Chain A
Amino acid sequence: MNDIVDTATRGHAPAAPAVSRERTVGQRTPLIDGIEKVTGRARYTADLPFGETLVGRILRSPIAHGSIRGIDTTAARAIPGVRAVVTGEDFAAPYGVIPIAQNEWPLARDKVRYRGEPVAAVAAVDEATAEAALAAIVLDIEPLPAYFHAGEARAADAVLLHEKKAGNIEREVDQSFGDVDAGFAAADLVREQTFHYAEVAHGQIELNAAVAAYEPECDRLTTYSVTQVPYYLHLTLARCLGMDGSRIRVVKPFVGGGFGHRVEPLNFEMITALLARAAGGTVKMGLSREECFLTHRGRPETDIRLRLGLKKTGEITAVDCEIVQRGGAYGGYGLVTILYAGALLHALYTVPAVKYRGYRVYTNTPPCGAMRGHGAVDARHAFESLLDIMAGELRLDPFAVRRANLIAPPYRTLNDLQVNSYGIPACLDWVEAASGWKTRRGQLPRGRGLGLACSHYVSGSAKPVHWSGEPHAVINLKLDFDGGITILTGASDIGQGSSTLLAQIVAEVLSLPLARIRVIATDSALTPKDNGSYSSRVSFMVGNAALRAAQEMKRVLVAAAAKRLEVQPDDIEWEGEHCRVSGTDRGLDFAAAVDAALVDSGTLIVKGTWSTPPETQGGKFRGAAVGSTAGFSYAAQVVEVSVDEDTGAVTVERVWVAHDCGFAINPLAVEGQVQGAVWMGMGQALSEETQYHEGLPLRPSMLDYRIPTIVESPPIEVKLVESHDPLGPFGAKEASEGSLHSFAPALTNAICDAIGIRLTELPASPDRVLEAIQARKRKERLRASAGALTQRAPVGG
């Protein structure tokens, strides 16, 4: 490399690469951390080497609702090898991801509110000692009436789970936009339908784990965990342990999936840290699969009543919707979930009038939270189902009824959400053609059918959960003597490929090969704060910050090169590995440009930030921030099913999905995200449901909680529609969640096409489908016998 500087000083242009550099964004790019994953070198939290550690274990409540009269830990503490025993009394404060709804203690205090709620924890020298210590703790809990469904909890005489929450309602939403009565009066057809949705869980394959290392000599805590949002965990550790945040370091190693389970700080993370401090050492906590199901934060059991008004032409005239969610025992993300359900219910189409009432209810079941497609999935199913029902009555094709309600961007929805790009028309066109809809629908053999649905989702919440006024995303770039660029980011790569995407963006702006870029992510001692991997915000927000950081680094490098070459920055043609003075053969290679920049300032560190524009941050009404985003993704999908009418078994034969991701920065990863989202929608639609008996989980294992295996998973053909959003980095929008919502309605619409039965309850498990088929048979028999009676009546009477 030495002679390169020489060539530069001699005024020669360094040899240009033989082939002009290809673009980095828009290329199918394997994950930059993929090799570690396929070779087994990737270390997840449970894999981290710490030498000798203590084992942490949690004692859980056997009672669904009760007052804690006492927790006797004397015998447990006396067991040799037990280093710490803690209860709720040892925490400094309760927590909760939403600042105004912090009503959960990491270990229950005063009351227990669900079976399996953590009540005490131990750290011991080995597992057997820890288990013995748990067995020696004596709980004295006075049972209270417990409620396992929203209706029971809302009863007038129900005992309250939380003080000041009358009727066990965590949050009631009442929103109205436009003249709903006039809308229904103007409709040619009005229909109302009720729907019921089972509760579902994330089922990430990595078991929850945390390691906390406490150094008593200097009062410092380092926590390694499976979190999607290290920054919330950091705040919550400080709060619950009563520590100054500067004494805490949070590291997220490789994470084996999130899907929303890990967007909240979770009780076991704070418990592990408290145990480490109490024991004055390092504690490793690994949860069982059953404990992961108990930690929960899944999608709630939901009841929906929906009323729509349509013109003969298919135009929607009014929407009236009521949604009740069984939220479980604590607030968590609950109030956001119930707001999302209303916010995204209708904003996919042009709708002139909407009334929405939502109820988030406390029950004695494990707390629900955010799950992929947060809040909007069940509402989407109801809406797309009723649209299909009404299209049938109006003799409109399902495509036609959706095309009658399209948005023309830029557009502001009734609830003040800003739409700047809208790829639904192209999505519809593609799935219609790819599925052979026009020629095949109605022509398939009995038991086989096609169904359509559309969906959308936010590219990050335009107002973050903790609205501090700071930029929404910050990226630091470091460039040093070695010529390597390090991206320092707090964005959590949980498998979606965010680190790869950031590297692609930086490489693209600087016209450098990916090999020059390294990503250091999610270590609070090194990386800037990031709001985390939730609401599909990372590509859009952190991508925009990375774009700006790279532009700033390029500016610095170009200025330094210009100074070295004694020209103006505008005279420099920057091509990454080399740059030259326009119209001359004088130039520098990258190493020389770096050298020039370092002479001025030493190690280069630049920053890029990004914030959502105010006009995208929603309206002024209460709850308006939820649903607001700088860019909506859109999707349409057609599902082909076959239904066995003897067994009720539904097989998904094929899925065609078109997803408007704005621009695919990494088409390989975007395809993978869309396929994964569609498939996760399929799990909920076909087979997944948590179930409880008196609050006891009946399916807390991967055998009983029926995640689809590879055997029943269909081919999923993906079309990426690129609508080039004006605010997205390179026009990009989210790709991880939007396609999930439309699977379930497309499925039940297809089942209806196949066998003429409309399922209004999910999952469409064989027992439910068979029950619907038999109910129809019973009805047909009754009708037939009634008909026979009617026919006989004149004769007999």
Chain B
Amino acid sequence: MAKRLIELTVNGRPREDAVADHMLLLDYLRQTVGLTGTKEGCDGGECGACTVLIDGEPRLACITLAASCEGRNVETIEGLAIDGRMSRLQQAFHEKLGTQCGFCTPGMIMAAEGLLRRRPSPTEIEIREALSGNLCRCTGYVKIIESVQAAAGD
């Protein structure tokens, strides 16, 4: 399988890696970079657990080719806490129980992060729309909405 060298930024660090043409961004992050916070919950584009930010926009890493991220800025759940301080969304999801089993949480937080950068004070409807591609099986979403609202209100 053909490989190519890509340059990109992952969580603020410049990287240069050889990736197979068909390698998914999800596998690149988890296997090549070693960032396992980004999760796989389906057979492709169904659940949102692998949501990351590419140039600030929420994207599904399981249906994105790593090679397509040449020159891009990729952010994952591991990049949100700075100097040992959780981001406001991470803090809120922790304190408000926006996470139970935690498996959808990285994707959910990254989708919400994309929303808050775009709309710092979103309405409840905007929150629901922004997270509509992220399935959670534990919470019934009630405390997820409360978490995003709490983070936006900080």
Contacts and interface: CB of A to CB of B under 8 A. Distances in A.
Partners in one complex: yes
A288 B43 contact: yes
A707 B135 contact: yes
Interface string A677-698: 0111010000000000000000
A290 interface: yes
Contacts of B94: 30-31, 34-35, 37-38
Interface of A: 30-31, 33-44, 46-47, 49, 202-207, 254-257, 259, 288-290, 494-497, 668-669, 671-672, 675-676, 678-680, 682, 701-703, 707, 709-711, 713, 715-716
Nearest to B105: A37
Most chain A CB within a 10 A radius of its CB, from B90, B94, B138, B144: B138
A35 B99 CA distance: 10
B100 A676 contact: yes
- Chain B interface helix/strand/loop/mixed: loop
Contacts of A42: 102
Interface stretch (B2-10, B53-61, B64-72, B73-81): B73-81
Given A206-B101, A289-B41, A257 B132 contact: no
Interface of B: 30, 34-43, 46-47, 49, 76-78, 80-81, 86, 89-91, 93-95, 97-106, 109, 127-129, 131-145
Contacts of A46: 36, 40
B41 A37 contact: no
Contact of B76 (A40, A203, A680, A716): A40
Contact of B46 (A44, A672, A701): A701
Contact of B42 (A37, A40, A289, A675): A289
Contacts of A30: 94-95, 97
A675 B139 contact: yes
A40 B38 contact: yes
Nearest to A705: B46
Given A495-B102, A675-B139, A710-B136, 11 more contacts: A31-B94, A34-B93, A34-B99, A38-B99, A39-B78, A43-B36, A49-B34, A204-B101, A675-B143, A676-B140, A701-B46
A648 B41 CA distance: 31
Contact of A702 (B78, B106, B109, B135): B135
B39 A44 contact: yes
24 contacts: A37-B99, A38-B77, A38-B93, A39-B77, A40-B37, A40-B38, A44-B39, A46-B36, A204-B101, A205-B103, A207-B40, A256-B103, A289-B41, A289-B43, A289-B46, A494-B101, A496-B100, A497-B100, A676-B140, A679-B140, A702-B41, A709-B132, A710-B131, A710-B144
Most chain A CB within a 10 A radius of its CB, from B36, B80, B129: B36
Most chain B CB within a 10 A radius of its CB, from A33, A254, A256: A256
Contacts of A289: 41-43, 46
Contacts of B39: 44, 205-206, 256
Sorted from nearest, which 5 A-B pairs have the closest CB atoms?
Answer: A40-B37, A495-B101, A679-B140, A256-B103, A37-B102
Contacts of A206: 39, 41, 101, 103
A202 B138 CA distance: 11
Contacts of A497: 100
Contacts of A205: 39, 41, 47, 49, 101, 103-104, 135-137
A297 to B, nearest CB: 15
B101 A257 contact: yes
Nearest to A33: B102
B106 A40 contact: yes
Contact of A710 (B35, B43, B86, B145): B145
A259 B137 contact: yes
Contact of B97 (A41, A44, A668, A702): A668
A39 B132 contact: no
Contacts of B46: 289, 701-703
A715 B144 CA distance: 11
B41 A707 contact: no
Contacts of B132: 709-711
